[in-house]
Structure 1
Amino acid sequence: MAAQMTRGKETRPITVLQSVRPQTDNDNPYVKQVMTAVACHAEVAFFSWRTALFGRYDVLHVHWPEFLLRAPERSRGLQYALFLALILRTALLRRPVVRTLHNLAPHEGAGMLERLLLRLLDRRTRMWIRLNAVTAQRPPQTMTILHGHYRDWFAAMDVPPPQPGRLLYFGLIRPYKGVEDLLDSFLALAPALAPDAELRIVGRPSTDALREKVADACAADARVSALLDYVDDATLAQEIGRAELVVLPFREMLNSGSMLLALSLNRPVLVPRNAPNVALADEVGRDWVYLYDGELNAATLANALWRVRTTARAPTPNFSHREWADAGELHYLAYLAAIRGHGRHA
């Protein structure tokens, strides 16, 4: 399907400026797969302030808007001015903004001026993309494009068999992700309740305090080990493969790429019960997603391990609604709807 824009006698594919910069090996596979899927239907331009303020594009697709504002304090004023100039340019040239709702709000706190600028961007947004069907729709238009799977991305990588008793947390270690709660719960897990249990933490801590918390747990209990750094995809496939259960005790959870990655490698996950997680469990199979209520504790971990071992499950999670070819076409339709300004929910 060719995405075309006609201006006078000129016909050309639409150009979508993404709010992310050119991707490296260390970047999020979700973003890379979105760019590849979209590129089948439209021209993709990666973000720079020069392109944003002076380049030619038909749609601005924003993923995590706060990342366009975060800068060292000495240059924060300039960053805010550039962001405001971008909003003004999209308004003057009538370039629609499409926004993917990865989160309802930034996970780390934002100052008053940052919140004001983000609200201005919200007012310029002509299409909201939600990654699950339970997030509230927003005017003037909302389209649901489910977060795609990672099966194809990791298909060529070696995935070892699971080790009985191994619990795994992986991903960036940030305050809202509840890694401290996981450590405290595991340290309180009596060996008699789960004789073969061990906990593996893989990821880069965002603060020194979090790094010290994990290091102290490793020193206090030989059952706890950690790799506190960014790891490449091949190493990540090894770490996930060795897990009997992946534990993601996020205090805020709307759309988790980590959960979909674990499921893509056929590893069950333990996550807090909320509407998005219940919907995902119903979709992929309740035998793949284990939900807990309230605060994570040692009993929850022990019970989850028991359920993993005693529950029959399908050979793989059901990802029939999460193919990337479908996501690429739906993004294209979202861009066209934003350009045409249809005031309806899709």
Structure 2
Amino acid sequence: MKVAIRPKSSPHNRYVELFAAAFEQAGWEVATLNWRIAPVLAGRLMILHWPDDFYASPDLRSRLLSWARIALMTTSRRLFGVRWIWVVHNLIPHDRKAGDPKLWRAFTNELDGLVFLSRESRQTFAADHPEHCNLPHLVTRHGDYRTGALTPPAPWRRPEGTTRLQFVGQIRPYKNLERLVEAARHLDVETELGVAGFAADGFGTELRRRGAAAAALHFDLRSAPLDEIEFERIVDSSHAAILPYRQILNSGSALFALSRNRPVIAPALGGLSELRDAVGGQWVYLYDGELTGAVLRDAAAWVRTAERPSVCRLDAYDWGVIGPELVRFSERLIAGARA
């Protein structure tokens, strides 16, 4: 069986490699979806993780290219029986406000199946796209990051002295870091907050300006994305990860932190309530509304006082469970196309 995936690998997100490996371990031939005509028409299954260009292509050339790819999807489906799946990480691209409704509608009309990483994402999609409610779909979970980790995850240890909260990742506006920096002004002397990652377009400079009065705040802003060993090291050096998103559907960052045995502080949005219910309230602290200094102090106290074991149980997020679900769903989709 053949499948082409876009992207199949990434230097900054091991999730896509673990996703592809699930098919390889089942004996499938896995390639990168590169939008070349011949490989697409000769394929059986195409999987897209983040089809952002179909939502909002930035210029005329990009829009024309996106329409050409829609035409290829149409031709491959109707004349060659190729099936197309979208893994719904988020409903619209992060940081993009204005989309092209016709282009996006054309893309979703050419899909044969959907993979959702939480029940909440399925419900949200159905509310936004009722015309696609009957499209074949799989509701699964975002796999963990223990498989293939470059360093052994450090076990959880209760803070002895200062409690270190940590944000790590790309420094982007949709992550609500301005609010996090402002809330850090109200932290007590027992807590410090680290903000680390790749910052572009002057946004890091703006964050530094906002956080100048916060003694508990420490920046580690880079001119290039962090490699995975650095990512693991920074998470392991913390007592908890904080994800101050203003809008989120699913969070790979939360799974990464839990995979390193670090509790997570995040808003009660998207599928994060499902994550808390699965791993336990001692591992995931969710807050309602805005992130304030009071919320941050309460979360830090929770990190210090909640009883939790040294290792977070992630059985339901194990690729040994999720991988076969993905393969079986794909097999059924292809078999249905042949029937």
Match of 1:300 in 2: 295
Distance, in Å, in 1 between the alignment partners of 2:152 and 2:275 is 25
The partner residue of 1:44 within 18, 30, 37 is 30
Q: Under a length normalisation based on structure 2, what TM-score does the superposition of the two structures give?
A: 0.86
Residues 198-277 of structure 1: matches in 2 within 5 Å? 198-208=192-202, 210-217=203-210, 219-229=212-222, 230-274=225-269, 276-277=271-272
2: CA distance between counterparts of 1:102 and 1:302? 30
- Give the counterpart of 2:82 among 85, 88, 95: 95
Amino acid at match of 1:228: L
Q: 1:179, CA displacement in angstroms?
A: 0.8
Match of 1:127 among 113, 129, 132: 113
Gaps of 5+ in 2: 127-132
Identity %: 28
Distance 1:337 1:118, change over 3 A: farther
Letter of the aligned partner of 2:218 in structure 1?
A: S
Residue 93 (structure 2) aligned to one of 96, 106, 119 = 106
* Letter matched to residue 227 of structure 2: D
**Stretch moving more, 101-110 or 167-176:** 101-110
**How many angstroms apart in 1 are the aligned matches of 2:105 and 2:97?**
12
1-structure distance, mates of 2:153, 2:320: 25
**Which TM-score applies when normalising by structure 1?**
0.84
1:183-206 CA distance string (max 9 Å, x none): 11112x15xxx2132221112235
Checking the alignment, whether the CA contact within 8 Å between 1:126 and 1:341 is kept in structure 2 is no
Residue number among 281, 286, 289 corresponding to 1:286 in the alignment: 281
The C-alpha deviation readout for 1:159-201, integer Å capped at 9, x for no partner, is 49667321111111222211111011112x15xxx21322211
Structure 1: runs of 5+ lacking an equivalent: 1-13
Whether contact under 8 Å (1:158, 1:234) holds in the other structure is no
* Higher alpha-carbon deviation: 175-184 or 271-280: 271-280
Moved more, 146-155 or 285-294: 146-155
Which of 146, 149, 162 is equivalent to 1:151? 146
Paired AA for residue 169 in structure 1:
F
- The answer to whether the Cα contact below 8 Å between 2:143 and 2:317 also exists between their aligned partners in 1 is yes
Partner-residue secondary structure (3-state), 1:122: helix
- Distance in 2 between residues matched to 1:324 and 1:29, nearest whole Å: 13
- Of 160, 174, 178, 1:180 maps to 178
Give the deviation of 1:66 after TM superposition. 1.0
1:219 is displaced (CA, Å) by 4.1
Counterpart for residue 189 of structure 2 = 195
Contact 1:172–1:204 (Cα < 8 Å) also in 2: yes
Partner residue, 2:319: 324
The verdict on how the C-alpha distance between 1:156 and 1:287 changes in structure 2, with shifts beyond 3 A counting, is same
1:333 to 2:339 alignment: no
**CA 1:76/1:270 → structure 2, altered by over 3 Å: closer, same or farther?**
same
The equivalent of 2:163 in structure 1 is 165
The residue aligned with 2:65 is 79
Paired with 1:203 and 1:142, the residues of 2 have a C-alpha distance of: 35
Contact 2:242/2:266 (8 A) holds in 1? yes
Residue deviations 1:132-176, cap 9 Å, x none?
133326422121221111123326347496673211111112222
> How many angstroms apart in 2 are the aligned matches of 1:300 and 1:110?
29
CA distance in structure 2 between the aligned counterparts of 1:167 and 1:216, rounded to whole angstroms: 20
What SS does the aligned partner of 1:139 have?
coil
**What SS does the corresponding residue of 2:112 show, helix, strand or coil?**
strand
1:29 pairs with 2:22: no
The answer to whether the 8 Å contact 1:245/1:308 transfers is yes
Partner residue, 1:11: none
